[in-house]
C-alpha cells in the first residue's frame, strides 16, 4: 500500500474511533478496536458488529436503543450490524444481576414476543445495512454431542467467576444448571455469526468476554467487546420490563412523554446523553446548563421528552401530546381521550371507583377518597356514599391521583 494510502487509512481509523467510542463505557482490549478497524479498512472488508437481544416480552424499550445507537454508529461508518434475536436464551432468561432465577418462557411465549421485535429495533438501526439472525438457526438442530463439546470449552470455575453466580453461591441462593448455560450460548452466537465486535450493556461484560474466549479456543480471531452505559428506568433502577419502569418504543406519544416526565431530575443528564437525538455539542451544552442551574429541570425535561418522542412519532403528534401533558398535569385539566364508564346515577362513589377500574377494591377506593386523591370535575370528593349522579348532570370526569381519568356517564 502506498504511503498516501496508509495515511488515509490512519486518518479514517481516527475518525471512526471518535464516532464509535463516544459515550461508551469500555473497549476490550483497549487498543483492540483501533487495530481491527485498521485491518478492516486495509482489506476493504466491513466489520461484523453483533448485538443480541432476548424477546422476553413483546416490547423493546428505549434502554435497548443505547446499544442499537452504537450499532448505527458502526453502520454509518460502513460496517455491518448483526442483530441476534435470542429465541433460545430467552427461554432461560439472562441471569445477569438477578438474585433469583427467572420463570422459564415457553416456545409459544417467545414466538409471540418476537413478532414485532425487529420492526421496533429498526427504529434505531438502518434496515438496509442490518443482518437479522435467530439463535434457532444453530441451536434448533444442534446434536447433543455438539452441545456437550461446547460445554467442555468452559470450566465450572470460569462460569462461577460471573459476579451474579458468585453472589448467589455465597448467599446460599439457588443457582440452576440451566442458568450456567446462558453465557455459553451467547458466546456460541459470536462463533456462529463470526462476530468481529460485540456490543452490550455494562451488565453484559462477562457474557461478551465468554464470546472472546470461545472464539479463541476454536482458533478464530477474538471479537472486540464494546460496552455502553445502562439507561436507568424511571425509578432509578436498571430499566426493565418486569419492573415496569421502562419506556417502550411502541408507546404512543402521550404515554412516552408521560413516562419520561416521570423520571427523577438527577437522571436528566443521563437521558440527554444516552437517549436523545441532539448533537454531541448540544448534549454537552444542555447538561452543563442543567448542572449549573441555568436550565430549569422541568422545562428541560419537557424538551428532552419531546426530543425522544420525536424519534418515534410525527412532530404534530408529539406537540399535541406535550400540550395535553401540560394541561393535565400542570394546569389540572383532562386529557383529550378518556375511557367512558357507564353506571346508575345512584351508585355511591366508592363503588364507582372499584367498578370503573380506578381502585382494586372498595377498601382501596375509600382510602383514596379519605386521602383527598379523588376529584369529580375538579372538585375533591370527601364522602364514600355520595351518589355519582348528585355530582353532575348526565356525566362527570372522575380523576384519581395525577394520571388516572374516567368519564362516568349515566
Q: What is the mean pLDDT of the chain?
A: 88
Predicted local distance difference test score (pLDDT) of residue 191: 97
Could you list the residue range(s) of the whole structural domain that residue 320 is in?
253-330
Total Cβ atoms within 10 A of residue 23 = 15
With respect to residue 159, please indicate whether it lies within any of the assigned structural domains: yes
**Exposure of 239 by Cβ count < 10 A (0-12 exposed, 13-18 middle, 19+ buried)?**
buried
- The Cα-based distances of 312 to 251, 307, 315, 408 in angstroms read 9, 10, 9, 33
Residues 83 and 53: their CA atoms lie apart, in Å, by: 8
Instruction: Answer whether residue 8 is part of any domain.
Output: yes
Q: What per-residue confidence (pLDDT) applies to 336?
A: 62
Instruction: Please check whether residue 245 lies inside any domain of the structure.
Output: no
CA distance 150 to 240: 30
Q: Rounded distance, CA 401 to CA 334, Å?
A: 12
Q: What is the pLDDT of residues 98-112, one digit of tens each?
A: 666 777 788 888 888
Residue at 246 is within a domain: no
Q: What is the CATH number of the domain that holds 24?
A: 3.40.50.620
Is residue 234 situated within a structural domain? no
The whole-number average pLDDT for the span 241-267 is 83
Residue 313 DSSP one-character state:
S
Q: What percent of the chain has pLDDT over 70?
A: 93
Residue scoring higher pLDDT (1 or 15):
15
pLDDT given for residue 1 in this prediction? 39
Q: Quick one: pLDDT at residue 3? A: 44
- Residue 194 vs residue 389, higher pLDDT: 194
Q: Is residue 220 part of a domain?
A: yes
Q: Are residues 362 and 310 in the same domain?
A: no
**Do 167 and 264 belong to one domain?**
no
Pair (135, 12) in one structural domain: yes
Residues 317 and 354 occupy one common structural domain: no
- What is residue 244's predicted lDDT score, i.e. its pLDDT? 65
122-162 tens-digit pLDDT: 888 999 999 999 999 999 999 999 999 999 999 999 998 88
d(CA 134, CA 91): 13
Within 8 A by CB and 6+ apart from 18, the residues are none
314 and 348 share one domain: no
My answer on whether 163 and 207 are in the same domain is: yes
Q: Contact 250/59 with Cβ under 8 angstroms?
A: yes
Q: Are residues 320 and 344 in the same domain?
A: no
pLDDT in tens, 31-79: 999 999 999 999 999 999 999 998 887 788 888 889 999 999 999 999 9
Is residue 306 located within the same domain as residue 348?
no
Q: Which residues contact 243 (CB under 8 A, 6 or more apart)?
A: 233, 235, 237
| Better-predicted residue by pLDDT, 240 or 30 | 30
- CATH number for 396: 3.10.290.10
| Residue-by-residue DSSP string for 258-309 | HHHHTS-GGGHHHHHHHH--S-HHHHHHHHHHHHHTSS-HHHHHHHHHHHHH
In the listed set 330, 363, 389, which residue is the last one of a domain according to the structure?
330
Q: Is the pLDDT of residue 2 over 50?
A: no
| Domain finish residue from 167, 195, 228 | 228
392 pLDDT band, cuts 50/70/90, is confident
Query: Looking at residue 142, what is its pLDDT?
Result: 95
Residues 97 and 17 in one domain: yes
pLDDT of the residue at 136:
94
Residues 179, 211, single domain; the answer is yes
The tally of domains found in the chain comes to 3
pLDDT at 184 over 70: yes
Rounded to whole angstroms, the Cα distance separating 168 from 173 reads 5
Model pLDDT for residues 289-329, shown as the tens digit of each residue: 999 999 898 899 999 999 999 988 999 999 998 988 887 76
Question: Does 195 share its domain with 100?
Answer: yes
Q: Are residues 81 and 195 in the same domain?
A: yes
Query: Per this entry, what is the length of the chain?
Result: 410
> Residue 275 sits in a domain of what CATH number?
1.10.240
Q: For the segment 340-377, what is each residue's pLDDT rounded down to a tens digit?
A: 888 888 899 999 998 888 888 888 889 888 888 888 87
Last-in-domain residue among 330, 358, 379 = 330
pLDDT score of 197 more than 90? yes
135 is a domain residue: yes
Tell me if 289 is assigned to some domain: yes
Contact 135, 85 (CB under 8 A): yes
Amino acid at each position: 500500500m502506498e504511503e498516501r494510502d496508509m495515511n488515509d487509512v490512519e486518518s479514517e481509523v481516527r475518525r471512526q474511533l471518535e464516532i464509535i467510542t463516544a459515550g461508551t463505557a469500555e473497549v476490550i482490549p483497549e487498543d483492540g478496536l483501533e487495530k481491527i478497524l485498521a485491518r478492516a479498512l486495509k482489506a476493504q472488508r466491513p466489520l461484523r458488529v453483533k448485538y443480541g437481544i432476548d424477546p422476553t416480552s413483546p416490547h423493546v424499550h428505549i434502554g435497548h436503543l443505547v446499544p442499537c445507537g452504537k450499532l448505527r454508529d458502526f453502520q454509518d461508518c460502513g460496517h455491518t450490524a448483526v442483530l441476534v434475536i435470542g429465541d433460545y436464551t430467552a427461554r432461560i432468561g439472562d441471569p445477569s444481576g438477578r438474585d433469583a432465577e427467572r420463570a422459564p418462557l415457553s416456545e409459544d411465549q417467545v414466538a409471540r414476543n418476537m413478532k414485532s421485535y425487529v420492526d421496533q429495533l429498526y427504529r434505531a438501526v438502518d434496515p438496509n445495512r442490518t443482518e437479522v439472525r435467530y439463535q434457532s438457526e444453530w441451536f434448533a438442530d444442534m446434536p447433543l454431542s455438539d452441545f456437550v463439546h461446547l460445554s467442555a470449552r468452559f470450566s465450572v470455575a470460569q462460569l462461577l467467576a460471573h459476579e451474579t453466580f458468585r453472589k448467589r453461591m455465597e448467599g446460599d441462593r439457588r443457582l440452576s444448571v440451566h442458568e450456567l448455560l446462558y453465557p455459553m450460548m451467547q458466546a456460541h452466537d459470536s462463533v456462529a455469526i463470526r462476530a468481529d465486535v460485540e456490543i452490550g450493556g455494562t451488565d453484559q461484560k462477562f457474557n461478551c468476554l465468554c464470546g472472546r474466549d470461545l472464539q479463541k479456543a476454536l482458533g478464530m480471531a477474538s471479537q472486540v467487546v464494546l460496552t455502553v452505559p445502562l439507561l436507568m428506568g424511571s425509578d432509578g433502577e436498571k430499566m426493565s420490563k418486569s419492573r415496569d419502569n421502562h419506556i417502550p418504543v411502541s408507546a404512543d406519544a402521550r404515554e412516552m412523554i408521560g413516562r419520561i416526565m416521570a423520571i427523577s431530575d438527577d437522571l436528566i443528564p443521563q437521558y440527554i446523553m444516552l437517549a436523545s437525538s441532539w448533537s454531541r455539542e448540544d448534549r454537552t451544552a444542555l447538561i452543563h446548563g442543567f448542572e449549573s442551574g441555568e436550565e430549569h429541570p422541568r422545562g428541560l425535561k419537557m424538551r428532552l421528552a419531546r426530543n425522544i418522542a420525536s424519534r418515534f412519532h410525527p412532530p404534530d403528534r408529539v406537540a399535541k401530546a406535550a400540550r395535553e401533558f401540560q394541561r393535565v398535569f400542570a394546569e389540572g385539566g383532562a386529557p383529550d381521550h378518556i375511557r367512558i364508564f357507564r353506571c346508575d346515577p345512584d351508585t355511591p362513589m366508592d363503588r364507582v371507583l372499584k367498578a370503573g377500574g380506578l381502585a382494586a377494591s372498595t377498601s382501596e377506593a375509600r382510602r383514596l377518597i379519605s386521602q383527598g386523591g379523588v376529584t369529580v370535575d375538579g372538585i375533591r370528593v370527601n364522602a364514600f356514599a355520595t351518589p355519582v349522579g348528585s355530582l353532575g348532570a348526565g356525566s362527570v370526569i372522575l380523576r384519581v391521583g395525577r394520571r388516572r381519568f374516567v368519564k362516568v356517564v349515566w
